[in-house]
Amino acid sequence: MKGLSFFLLAAIFVGALVWMATLKRPQKIAAHGGPPAPVAEVVLLGGKILTVDPHDSVVEAVAIGFDGRFLAIGSNAEIRAHIGPNTKVIDLHGRTATPGLIDSHGHFADGGVNELYRVNLSEAKSIAEIVEKVAERAKALKPGDWIQGSGWDESKLTELRYVHAADLDKVTPKNPVWLVHTTGHYGVANSVALKLAHISHTTKNPKAGTIDRDAQGKPTGVLKEDAMLAVTSLIPAVTADEEHNAILHIIDALHAEGMTAIKEGDILPHTWDAYKRVLDENKLKVRVFTLWDVGKTLDSGRATLARIKALPLPPRSLGEGVLLSGGGKLYMDGSGGGRTAWLYDDWHVKSTEIDKGNKGYPAMDVDTYKQLVRMYHQAGIHIGTHAIGDRAIDTVVDTYAEVLKETPTHGLRHSIIHSNIPTDHALETMAALQKQYDAGYPELQAPFMWWIGDTYAGTFGPERSARLIPLKTMLTRGIVWGGGSDYFVTPFAARYGIWASVARQTLKGVYGAHPFGTTEAVDARVALRSYTEWAAHQLFLDGTVGSIELGKDADIAVWDRDMYTVPAGDLKDMKCEMTLFKGEIVFRADTTPVTVTDPKPANPAANGAAATKP
């Protein structure tokens, strides 16, 4: 009986092993011509696909499932096994594909409003050209109507100086004018606007602002930081429809640049409502992570905190990873261009001259700032702080270190926005915070060195310029950063940021082509990662996008060249030829060798003609 029991148990054991083996068999057989592989909704074949995965793998093809996620990644032969009778086949014909590019800091709704409704001064080469553009707008308006413009930069002008009220008054005697600088931290008003704002030679500077004055003490019209509020508070607010149109406009523009996710750097409730409206219309085909404007007081901080807590906290979202109410935005200082950012040493003028006594200033009371950071941190809310000057950056990282020590919390990813000239102490603190708490991440804008680089070289001076945006040092120290544009400050196309990370070259070369040197340059592989995987981390989307890996959403950009192999100078001129968002084609260039074969009949309701273009 015991012998029978032994053989019975042995038979059961062997049977169980055989049964368990059969559970694994389909996967193995599928690789050798057994049961078919899962059918894909879309496949991309015949390309060079830069996955930006942990091994920086490069493959030929990918398959995308019906859920918009990567189903398979590999060779052409492997991916062809996933083609069914209704699978859309995209033949890349040798083109390069990357993950959809991501901007970790910008002001996209505002930038869209500027592009649609303001006088565009970003390409102006002289004050005369600016005056001409303003005069042209004035002809179309009634007396008293506001004229608004944006994007001027003194370093791009032949005169290499600010625009003044005196320049504008002769063509706008009956209309108030406000022209904001490309940095957004200063602008110029004409005399009509200054009068409406009650700004005269007797007006004192606000605590965190500057009224620019001539040698006689008369306001020139240039207002910086909080001094701008006297004028901007008088300008009629953007309407809901204008903001809605601006967002739709910018979504199309992002798609044309292979971009599929952004971090909105400073929003108020009306901007959240505008994005939510676009989401509800099923038109938000780009991921948006928002930072809410916290303000400068404890009361404003509490009010904003209540709004944030009423919404899902990241990584939770609306629209399945599309719209995220991310956290709070604070300002520790001002502008590198306007010489208002907070430094240890005096600012420079024209590179080598000293702006004696001007070290900039904090944008808000430092003690209040620390209390607000503590308030948000203890509530489990992500914080991003604008800090450009070395003293401001030190203040921010020390505050983060202090609150994290008091309340150790992993994964809030607090950020230092811009972080232009960090000290060694700041870099050491960032590295330690990232390692210990998953916090202290710089969100950098390499295009600053290009688009406003001539202004920066003049204001930072030679010594500080050499340590501006020190990417190589950060990489060496193990510091991860998110790439961005700070659009509308610079153009948003991430290809410019990838190029600038490598080239570190200014637009006009006013103080030489490379006043920041090339020692801190990184290669294109690192630069691409900062605009994909590392940026996704700062949007709390690193498990969803940022690399081409199984199970992640299929956000893809297709390019006319391979950024890993082309000369550095070619990176700036890359052309996006196709963009996919969650596996859906949302952009296709008019001229491209990439072909699309779609067995399914065209859907007239599809998003844009590009989605069904043969």
pLDDT, tens only, 108-127? 999 999 999 999 999 999 99
pLDDT band at 612, cuts 50/70/90?
A: very low
User: Rounded to an integer, what distance in angstroms lies between the CA atom of residue 538 and that of residue 583?
Assistant: 23
- Which among 262, 259, 247 is positioned nearest to 104, based on CA atoms? 262
Chain centroid to Cα 55, Å, comes to 25
Q: For 567-610, what is each residue's pLDDT tens digit?
A: 999 999 999 999 999 999 999 999 999 999 999 876 654 444 34
Transcribe 398-425 into DSSP letters: HHHHHHHHHS--SS---EEEE--S--HH
190 inside domain: yes
What is the number of alpha carbons within 13 Å of residue 293 lying toward its C-beta?
10
548 inside domain: no
* 47 and 89 fall within a common domain: yes
Of all residues in the chain, the percent with pLDDT exceeding 90 is 92
According to the model, what pLDDT value does residue 597 have? Answer: 97
Report the interhelical angle of 240-255 vs 108-117 (nearest 10°). Answer: 100
* 155 and 213 fall within a common domain: yes
The residue ranking higher by pLDDT, 538 or 36, is 538
According to the model, what pLDDT value does residue 601 have? Answer: 76
Full domain range(s) for residue 112 = 108-232
Helices (H) and strands (E) in the chain, counts: 19, 27
User: Rounded to an integer, what distance in angstroms lies between the CA atom of residue 46 and that of residue 52?
Assistant: 18
According to the model, what pLDDT value does residue 34 have? Answer: 57
Peptide bond into 488 cis (omega under 30): yes
According to the model, what pLDDT value does residue 481 have? Answer: 98
Q: For 177-194, what is each residue's pLDDT tens digit?
A: 999 999 999 999 999 999
Q: Single out the residue in 185, 207, 232 at which a domain terminates.
A: 232
* 152 and 127 fall within a common domain: yes
Q: For 453-510, what is each residue's pLDDT tens digit?
A: 999 999 999 999 999 999 999 999 999 999 999 999 999 999 999 999 999 999 999 9
User: Rounded to an integer, what distance in angstroms lies between the CA atom of residue 326 and that of residue 322?
Assistant: 12
Output the six-digit token pair for 7: 């053989």
Of all residues in the chain, the percent with pLDDT exceeding 70 is 92
Q: Is the pLDDT of residue 341 over 90?
A: yes
The residue ranking higher by pLDDT, 521 or 614, is 521
Its pTM stands at 0.92
User: Rounded to an integer, what distance in angstroms lies between the CA atom of residue 113 and that of residue 462?
Assistant: 36
- Would you give the DSSP letter of residue 39? P
b/e per residue 61-93 (b: at least 16 CB within 10 A): bbbbbeebbbbbbbeeebbbbbbeeebbbbbbe
276 inside domain: no
Provide mean pLDDT across the span 52-68: 98
Q: Which residues partner with 483 through β-bridges?
A: 444
* 119 and 86 fall within a common domain: no
Q: Single out the residue in 202, 232, 262 at which a domain terminates.
A: 232
* 126 and 67 fall within a common domain: no
User: Rounded to an integer, what distance in angstroms lies between the CA atom of residue 496 and that of residue 577?
Assistant: 16
The domain that holds 81 is classified in CATH as: 2.30.40.10
Q: For 75-98, what is each residue's pLDDT tens digit?
A: 999 999 999 999 999 999 999 999
- Which among 396, 337, 328, 401 is positioned nearest to 362, based on CA atoms? 396
The domain that holds 134 is classified in CATH as: 3.10.310.70
Amino acid at 229: L
- Which among 598, 600, 578, 579 is positioned nearest to 590, based on CA atoms? 578
Peptide bond into 315 cis (omega under 30): yes
Transcribe 552-585 into DSSP letters: SB--EEEESS-TTTS-GGGGGG--EEEEEETTEE
What is the number of alpha carbons within 13 Å of residue 187 lying toward its C-beta?
25
User: Rounded to an integer, what distance in angstroms lies between the CA atom of residue 377 and that of residue 297?
Assistant: 16
Could you list the beta-strand ranges (E) of 162-243.
Answer: 177-181, 186-189, 209-213, 219-225
- Would you give the DSSP letter of residue 204? P
213 inside domain: yes
Reduced to 3 states, what is the DSSP secondary structure of residue 198? coil
* 42 and 85 fall within a common domain: yes
* 115 and 202 fall within a common domain: yes
According to the model, what pLDDT value does residue 36 have? Answer: 78
- Which among 273, 298, 270 is positioned nearest to 284, based on CA atoms? 273
Using alpha carbons, list the distances in angstroms from residue 518 to 52, 69, 274, 426, 499: 24, 39, 42, 21, 13
Tokens 């659009």 belong to residue: 487
* 174 and 223 fall within a common domain: yes
* 212 and 114 fall within a common domain: yes
Cβ distance 445 to 105 under 8 Å?
yes
Tokens 């009361």 belong to residue: 299
Reduced to 3 states, what is the DSSP secondary structure of residue 397? helix
74 inside domain: yes
255 inside domain: no
- Rounded (5°) CA angle 182-481-568: 70
* 144 and 182 fall within a common domain: yes
User: Rounded to an integer, what distance in angstroms lies between the CA atom of residue 443 and that of residue 266?
Assistant: 14
Output the six-digit token pair for 34: 């057994």
* 127 and 58 fall within a common domain: no
Q: Single out the residue in 207, 232, 257 at which a domain terminates.
A: 232
According to the model, what pLDDT value does residue 30 have? Answer: 33
Using alpha carbons, list the distances in angstroms from residue 5 to 17, 19, 338: 18, 21, 89
Transcribe 226-284 into DSSP letters: GGGHHHHTTSPPPPHHHHHHHHHHHHHHHHTTTEEEEEEEEE-HHHHHHHHHHHHTT--
User: Rounded to an integer, what distance in angstroms lies between the CA atom of residue 248 and that of residue 113?
Assistant: 11
262 inside domain: no
435 inside domain: no
What is the number of alpha carbons within 13 Å of residue 127 lying toward its C-beta?
14
Q: What is the mean pLDDT of the chain?
A: 93
* 55 and 159 fall within a common domain: no
- Which among 525, 486, 492, 520 is positioned nearest to 504, based on CA atoms? 520
pLDDT band at 4, cuts 50/70/90?
A: very low
Residues 318/243/577/92 CA torsion (nearest 10 deg): 20
- The count of structural domains within the chain is 2
Q: For 231-268, what is each residue's pLDDT tens digit?
A: 999 999 999 999 999 999 999 999 999 999 999 999 99
User: Rounded to an integer, what distance in angstroms lies between the CA atom of residue 558 and that of residue 534?
Assistant: 20
Q: Is the pLDDT of residue 560 over 50?
A: yes
Provide mean pLDDT across the span 395-399: 99
